[in-house]
Each structure stands twice: as C-alpha cells, then as structure tokens.
C-alpha cells in the first residue's frame, strides 16, 4: 500500500509550495512544487517538514509531520540522510579543529603526537618554542620548518617544500608519506575520509529522495 502525505509550506512566493511524500515499502519518494524541487535539487521545504520544523507550515495537518517522521524510519531516505549527517558532522568537527590548530594546538600536536614518531624516523625535530617542525635532511642538515598544524591537518607543506633548492622532490614525497603514515588510523584521518565523501553522500540522498 502506498502512503502519501502532502503539505503546504510558505516560501518566498505568494503561493505556498507543496512538498509531497510517498512511501512504498522501504522506498520513500519526495517532490516539491518549488523551482529547486522541479529541477530535482534539494529544497528547504521538504527538509523542513522532514526535520519536523513546522514554522512555515500553512496546511492544517501538523499531525502529518509526525506521521512523516514515522514514514522516514527504515526508508532509503533515512539511510542516506544518516550517512550524510555523519559526514557533515565529521566535516564540521574538522573545521573547528583546524581553527583551534591555528594558535593553540600547534604545541600540543608537535610535542604530544607527531614529534616522537617523526623524530624516531629521523625526519623531523619538534620545536616547542616555535610550534614548528624543523626539517632535517639526513644527519643535521637543516632544511626548513613547517607549522605543525599544517603538516597534520592538511598537506599545505608545499609552501615550505616548494621553496627553490630547499629539498629534493624525492625527499619531500618520502616525508609526506611519513606524515600520512602517522595520521593513519587516527580520528583525523577518519574524519578527512568522511569529508571527502560529502558530495557522494549528497548525491545518494538526492537519488533516494527522487526515485
């Protein structure tokens, strides 16, 4: 049996928009009369009712919003939405970690995490006072420094590595490999992986909502 719910949501136009939801088995399908909905893109009207937000609801069926929440349970849309939510959360967490990294986390990372490993490998010397990794090529030939947060959070080390005559490309690649080895299995690596999947998850949700 196909269940169908229709709502009227006031948007920017005079006429309210009409988000509609059908459920057949586990398959939830949605549509909306707004321009974004017509083109098959996301629209806020559908997400508002799906998220239980009745602020702009002008149809007289608030109870159907609760029914819609039940319809979502176990549906393909709920599934895709949950994955997207996890990736979005990881991305937001990363953003705030990156912000934190700027002034404060540098010392923390260089002294507590990155330095011991990289020093063991003979690649870097951590420097608590400057919050930079000092790079040494071989025994004690000083090459340059990279901010600790750059090396761990994003391979922006290019800035340093690309300075002319600073180091060989082979050395640079080897060092980047070490940094990524160090990140392997960490929470940051897991979050970065989810972050790269954001657009894939968005497309999956879009497909789930429209088929």
Closest approach of Zn ion to the CB of residue 54, in Å: 15
> Alpha-carbon distance 126 to 166, whole Å?
19
Closest approach of Zn ion to the CB of residue 45, in Å: 3
- Three-state DSSP state, 92: helix
Residue pair 43/59 in contact by the 8 Å Cβ criterion: no
Site for Zn ion in 133-162 (CB under 5 A): none
Percentages helix, strand, coil for the chain, rounded to the nearest 5? 55, 15, 30
Which pair of structure tokens corresponds to residue 153? 């959070």
Strand 141-147 to 27-31 pairing: unpaired
Specify the residue, 16 or 37, whose C-beta has the smaller distance to Zn ion.
37
What x-and-dash track marks residues 2-31 binding Zn ion by CB under 5 A? ---------------x--------------
Residue 34 touching Zn ion (CB under 5 A) = yes
Specify the residue, 32 or 109, whose C-beta has the smaller distance to Zn ion.
32
Would you tell me how many other CB atoms lie within 10 Å of the CB of residue 138?
8
Specify the residue, 44 or 131, whose C-beta has the smaller distance to Zn ion.
44
List the one residue from 32, 65, 80, 160 that touches Zn ion (CB under 5 A). 32
> Considering CB under 5 A, how many residues would be counted as binding Zn ion?
6
Closest approach of Zn ion to the CB of residue 207, in Å: 17
The window from 34-42, 91-99, 127-135, 156-164 that contacts Zn ion (CB under 5 A) reads 34-42
Site for Zn ion in 41-80 (CB under 5 A): 43, 45
> Alpha-carbon distance 198 to 182, whole Å?
24
Closest approach of Zn ion to the CB of residue 100, in Å: 37
Across the beta sheet with 124-127, the strand order is: 124-127, 132-137, 141-147
Residue pair 122/140 in contact by the 8 Å Cβ criterion: no
Q: Between 187-196 and 198-210, two packed helices, what is the crossing angle to 10 degrees?
A: 50
What x-and-dash track marks residues 182-211 binding Zn ion by CB under 5 A? ------------------------------
Closest approach of Zn ion to the CB of residue 80, in Å: 18
Q: Between 76-100 and 198-210, two packed helices, what is the crossing angle to 10 degrees?
A: 160
List the one residue from 37, 72, 151, 209 that touches Zn ion (CB under 5 A). 37
Interface ranges with Zn ion (CB under 5 A): 17, 32, 34, 37, 43, 45
């Amino acid at each position: 049996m196909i269940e169908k719910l229709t709502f009227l949501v006031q948007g920017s136009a005079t006429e309210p928009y009409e988000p509609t939801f059908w459920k057949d088995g586990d398959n939830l399908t949605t549509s909306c009369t707004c321009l974004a909905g017509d083109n098959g893109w996301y629209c806020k009207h559908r997400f508002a009712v799906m998220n239980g937000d009745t602020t702009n609801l002008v149809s007289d069926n608030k109870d159907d919003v609760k029914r819609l929440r039940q319809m979502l349970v176990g549906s393909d849309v709920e599934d895709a939405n949950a994955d997207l939510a996890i990736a979005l959360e990881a991305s937001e967490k990363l953003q705030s970690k990156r912000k934190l990294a700027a002034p404060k986390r540098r010392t923390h990372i260089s002294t507590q995490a990155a330095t011991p490993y990289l020093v063991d490998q003979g690649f870097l010397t951590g420097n608590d006072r400057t919050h930079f990794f000092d790079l040494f090529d071989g025994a004690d030939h000083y090459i340059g420094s990279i901010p600790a947060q750059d090396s761990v959070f994003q391979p922006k080390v290019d800035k340093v590595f690309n300075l002319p005559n600073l180091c060989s490309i082979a050395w640079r690649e080897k060092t980047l490999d070490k940094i990524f080895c160090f990140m392997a299995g960490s929470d940051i690596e897991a979050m970065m992986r989810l972050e790269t999947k954001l657009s894939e998850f968005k497309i999956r949700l879009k497909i789930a909502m429209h088929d």
